[in-house]
Homo-oligomer: A and B are copies of this chain.
Amino acid sequence: MSPYDPSAFLPFAVTVDLVVLTVRGQGLCALAVRRGEPPFQGRWALPGGFVRGDEDLAQAAARELAEETGLCVQDTGGAEAAHTAHLEQLATYGDPGRDPRMRVVSVAHLALAPDLPAPRAGGDAHSARWAPVEDLLGRDGVAGPGGEPPVPLAFDHARILADGVERARSKIEYSSLATAFCPPEFTVGELRRVYEAVWGVALDPRNFHRKVTGTPGFLVPTGGTTTRQGGRPAQLFRAGGATVLNPPMLRPEI
């Protein structure tokens, strides 16, 4: 049998699942939707859906992201988007039996977004919410917003979420990706709080400031200032053109 013989064709369903991360308050949060139908009815899951016949994997992920959150992907040319997010492919999960109904291969994507007012429940999801990743990944799983007992995420979504969080944690070390968690204009302190939330550590504000402002291409000053965090007015910056940080941000050991 040839590896490309069409007669060897075996039918799979292909979906995209989304790990959408944002920083809210002190911690890292992910978007979860409540399943409205079996299997895992009533359980929380990652947003996602089938890939359509005429679209690329990245297009399918961007479409699902827009349906669930209203976010547009950064490289979309249109300037009318209220909010933009970073989107990249994460990994593909294809265990037989990961979906009890049929053979489903899911191409997971990772999206990073600034803090949004509130998730809008897309099309078919009964509800959607931002939940701290520790809750979603904890042994007990996530509790409902109304105090329902905690249950783990549906399917293998806890594994997918863990992989996405790990990708984000390591990638902000050597890339400018942390700016994707910030609004278009932000201060050095706001960027530092992103690192602290994603890594779960405290960083020295003085050394952090020197480091990020000294890395060429990371931040460009807009000229404006803000006092929205209190204290002395802070300079506002936009993300610079650099995508890779040299030298990288150093993540404290423990």
A56-B96, A105-B107 given; A12·B15 CB < 8 A: no
Task: Mark A1-43 against chain B: 1 for CB-CB distance below 8 A, else 0.
Answer: 1111110111111110000000000000000000111000000
Q: Which interface class (under 10, 10 to 19, 20 to 34, 35 or more) fits A? A: 35 or more
Is A51 in contact with chain B by the CB < 8 A criterion?
A: yes
Is A95 in contact with chain B by the CB < 8 A criterion?
A: yes
Copies of chain A in the complex: 2
User: CB distance A96 to B53 under 8 Å?
Assistant: yes
User: CB distance B92 to A107 under 8 Å?
Assistant: yes
With both chains docked as a complex, state the minimum distance between the C-beta of A120 and any C-beta of chain B, in angstroms: 15
Is A83 in contact with chain B by the CB < 8 A criterion?
A: no
With both chains docked as a complex, state the minimum distance between the C-beta of A40 and any C-beta of chain B, in angstroms: 9
Is A124 in contact with chain B by the CB < 8 A criterion?
A: yes
Taking CB atoms, residues of chain B closer than 8 Å to A52 are: 10
A3-B64, A101-B6, A124-B3 given; A56·B94 CB < 8 A: yes
User: CB distance A56 to B89 under 8 Å?
Assistant: no
User: CB distance B2 to A48 under 8 Å?
Assistant: no
Residue in chain B with minimal CB distance to A93: B57
Task: Mark A102-126 against chain B: 1 for CB-CB distance below 8 A, else 0.
Answer: 1101010000000000000001100
User: CB distance A53 to B10 under 8 Å?
Assistant: yes
User: CB distance A54 to B15 under 8 Å?
Assistant: no
Is A91 in contact with chain B by the CB < 8 A criterion?
A: yes
Task: Mark A40-77 against chain B: 1 for CB-CB distance below 8 A, else 0.
Answer: 00000001111111111100000010000000000000
Measured CA separation A9–B53 after assembly (Å): 10
Measured CA separation A12–B51 after assembly (Å): 10
Taking CB atoms, residues of chain B closer than 8 Å to A47 are: 3
User: CB distance B37 to A2 under 8 Å?
Assistant: yes
Residue in chain B with minimal CB distance to A13: B9
User: CB distance B9 to A50 under 8 Å?
Assistant: yes
Taking CB atoms, residues of chain B closer than 8 Å to A92 are: 57, 89, 92, 107
User: CB distance A91 to B94 under 8 Å?
Assistant: no
Beyond A3-B15, A9-B13, 6 additional pairs, beta carbon < 8 A: A1-B123, A3-B50, A3-B124, A5-B37, A8-B50, A9-B50
